[in-house]
Structure formats: C-alpha cells, structure tokens
Structure 1
C-alpha cells in the first residue's frame, strides 16, 4: 500500500474491514507479501475528489483451495470531514452591537461560489500523518494527548504547507506559493478565492459565514446556539483542548467553530470597510494573520462568531489550530 499513511503491519492478520479517515490513497498494489500474482494490480486516481464519497475495494484471494474476501474502505480527506457551504449574502461583523471596534463597520459580503469547509478542526492524527510523510518534527501536545484532539503549536506556514501537501496527494493544484499567496489552477497568484482549486485555509469572510450557519443561519451569536455552553469549550484558564466534535454542531453540521482552539484563516489582519464586498480576501501584507473562534481559555465573548483575533504567522501557540477549506469547482 502506497499511501504515506501506515495502515497495516504485514505479516499480521488482515482485518475484514478497515476505514482510514483522513487518508488519501493514490495507488493500491496487490499482492500482499504472502500472496503471489503474475502481475501487480494498480488502481490510479482512485479516491473521489468530492465530499461524502468513499471507495471500497473487494479483494478475494485463494490459498490452499480456500477463498477469502477482504473489504477495504478508503475516504478522501474531505469525504467524511468536509461540509458544503453554499454561496449567498450575509452581514459580516458586530451585528449585535456588543463587540470590539475591529468588528466594525458591519458590511455586506456575497459569495458567488460554494465551498467545502472542515467539519472538524484538523486533528493530531491527521497532522501527524503529514509529519511522518514529509519528515517533519511532530508538534508538542503538552501531554494533553494527540489522536482526535485538534493539533496545536502549528504556525500559519505549517498550516498552509499541510494544505499544499493534501492538494498534491489528491492531484490538485496547490493553493499557496512560497510567499503565502493564493494561487489559481494555473499557478498564478490571485486574490479571488473562487479561483483557487487546492486545499487552503478559509478566508476570514468564509470562516464567519460558515460559523454563522451559511444560508441556513438562525442568527446565533455563537456557532450553533445563543447558549455558549451548548457549542463551545471556553472559560477554563487551567483547561486543555478537547477532542473535536464533542459539543453540538452549528446549523450546517460544523463543530467547534466557537471555542476549543483558535483557527488560522488565510487573510492578513486588517480593518473592515463599510463597502459591500464580493468574494473578499485581504491580501494586503501586514504583521499578523487572522485567527478566529476563541479557545478553551477565553471568556464567552471571545467565542462569538463575529469575534476577531490575530497572531504572527511565524509563531506557534498552544490555543491555535486550523481547519481546511476548498472551493467547489
């Protein structure tokens, strides 16, 4: 198996069913070491590129006159973890009148495209696979545990490298160049996220639109509720990250957009304009990249869907992670 994600110790019994969330299989080679064939069986470009699709391979082998069938199910990264956000128009910023000055002025934002956004924050399991495949050092977990907890101590640059790695694994044009600029399908720098094909971080506007519930929004102050405890881990200065998806989701079925950990966005941090915008993305170079969502260690007001924060893209922080995004084409 050539997947860059370990899934089987050869020589041990093969389980009848194996599901690998977050893995992308570009090539499947049979035989296993214990089985001989005249030729190898290769399946290229085997994983669907759309969400909510999987690939199942039935492998029947005969040894000593006895046939055994093994079923293997593979999922692309966005298959089980990508939520479709349909385009539309919303009012961005402090629509309740109790936010910070950087959440003003409120303004209309329109998306002319649909996009997928991660159902969950990127986990240690997913990011560790990237580190193993690329020879990177794995980030610290502060002894809180890895697995399905959101990855922490990742720079903005680490997050975009992860996105480019996912794109390359799925045969998609990468979304970022070496300077952190967005790229279109031809590899040309663009400021229009609708033209980006590969995996990327959500823009700040995409993030807020998705957190508010997209075109299914019920106007909640937090991502999925007006009662913060229903949807967010917050307010615990001596707490820690929690496994993703343990609180209630928002209207679109997205988890943890309020609390747990802050999340990197693609944009540079800057002031809002009162002008209506279409497919916005702030490419004006500054000192900080946008982070959103609050964390387990902040008060409820910092987990509101309109709340803004920023961090240095070269720094690593224990309450800061990311989720992936991709424009629908």
Structure 2
C-alpha cells in the first residue's frame, strides 16, 4: 500500500532496493576526492525520482507558496529540469511536498534532517518526508543499485547514450527523459543538470559504512552528476562536486527521494 500511495503522488519514482556497493573511483581514472573506495551497505529501501525535478513541478510550488519563479534562461520551462535553485530552495520544495501530502517534513529551518516526531536526526532511516538523496544513495542509484552492470556513466559506458553534456547539449538543458535510462530506469543522472544532495561535502574514508550521511557542518553541500556544460568526465558515476548552499546557476537542479518506511 505504501508503494502504491507514493507512486500515485508527486511525479514518478523508482524503488531502489537495499544492498551493498563499492563507492568511489572503481575505474582507476578518477580524482583524489573519489578515493579511497569503500564499501557502503544500505539496510533500507528508498524511492528516488525517475527524473530530475522539472520546471512544471517547481513552478507549482512557487505558485502555491508565493515564491518567485527561477529564471529559465529563455530555454523554456515545462519538462526541462528546474535550474537556478539553491540548496535551500530544493529543501523548501521537499518540505512543501511533504506537507501537501500530510507527511512529516524532512528538514528544519537550519537544514537538519528530522524524524517522524520532528526531532533532529542523522539516521536517514527515520526520515519520513520528501528529501534530497544522500550522496551514497545517489551513487548507489546511479550505478544501478543491485542491478548494476558496472557502467562508467549512469546507464552506459558510452556517455552520449545517457547524458546531455558540453558536446551534445546545444549549450542548454534538455527535456528530462530523452536519453537512455540506467539499469533501474532512472534518467539524466549523468549530465543535464548538477543535482543537490543532502550531505555536507567531505573526504572519503576507507572504512566500510552503513546508511551513511555526512551531517558534519562545513562550507559546501554535495553536487552529483555533471551538467549540460561539462566535459564527459564530470558526468561519471563517481564524480563529486560541491557548492555553497545559497549558490545557484543555470546548470544546477535536483531530484527528490524518500525512505521506505
């Protein structure tokens, strides 16, 4: 019943089943912050957006709350991924969606995660509402979860099959879902727009981790996936970047996530 309820609401979601994977530069050609590789295990299932959040979806939030709509750079809105949104904008959208569906919101006003009682938590399994994926969730889903075929990009080792990047994007975003999906049926996790994650950015450890989430406050939040203006290497499944939460750009958006309770 839970799966039916979620999938009937708020866009389309893909179930990512629990399991383990090796996180980081498994191809041996990555950057320093993609190392060391380390084992990550998930003890829970989660849903993640089949597509990046679109202008249609985000504009509905703006209209309902009286917020200003972000600039579309004259590229048009509709089913293109929303751009020019900060990390704060992204979590505000998540909270609005949760409250709209009578779910406990996932974030407080300081950006901390909340459990079902509204208490601050760092245990992602206790977060009920819509939220941004953790960095580990993002990479696990991007790699294809427990259906992974080990691709270098999200769904293929040939970047043009799955990604809008600097060589084929026409110097702008493209409508979501026009490239091939990955093993789980997720679109545009390589290229199109960078995607905000919940975590603060930090260095990797070689230690095995279970249900990781980096809650240690720093200067930057994690970005994943690369965008329409990046070289192919930036759209690799292991590539990491970061931005300050108030920053934004015409290459920066998000997709949403929910823990299965």
| Cα shift at 1:77 | 0.8
Q: Which 5+ residue runs of structure 2 have no aligned equivalent?
A: none
The aligned residue for residue 126 of structure 1 is 57
Runs of 4+ in 1 over 4 A off after TM superposition: 51-54
Aligned counterparts, 1:3-152, within 5 A: 50-51=3-4, 75-78=8-11, 81-152=12-83
Aligned counterparts, 1:1-329, within 5 A: 50-51=3-4, 75-78=8-11, 81-236=12-167, 239-329=171-261
Max radius of gyration: which structure? 1
| Cα shift at 1:51 | 4.5
Q: Which structure features the higher share of helix residues? A: 2
Please give the TM-score of this superposition, normalised by the length of structure 2: 0.97
The aligned residue for residue 35 of structure 1 is none
Distance change in 2, residues 1:194/1:53 (3 Å): closer
Partners of 2:238 and 2:210 in 1: CA distance? 18
| Cα shift at 1:238 | 5.9
| Cα shift at 1:315 | 1.0
Query: Relative CO higher for 1 or 2, CA cutoff 8 Å, sep ≥ 6?
Result: 2
Q: Which 5+ residue runs of structure 1 have no aligned equivalent?
A: 1-47, 55-74
CA contact (8 A) 1:112 1:279 kept: yes
* Number of residue pairs aligned between Structure 1 and Structure 2: 260
CA contact (8 A) 1:262 1:321 kept: yes
Partners of 1:283 and 1:51 in 2: CA distance? 31
CA contact (8 A) 1:90 1:109 kept: yes
CA contact (8 A) 1:224 1:231 kept: yes
Distance change in 2, residues 1:323/1:180 (3 Å): same
| Cα shift at 1:50 | 2.8
Partners of 1:153 and 1:175 in 2: CA distance? 22
CA contact (8 A) 1:222 1:304 kept: yes
The aligned residue for residue 33 of structure 1 is none
Please give the TM-score of this superposition, normalised by the length of structure 1: 0.77
| Cα shift at 1:194 | 1.0
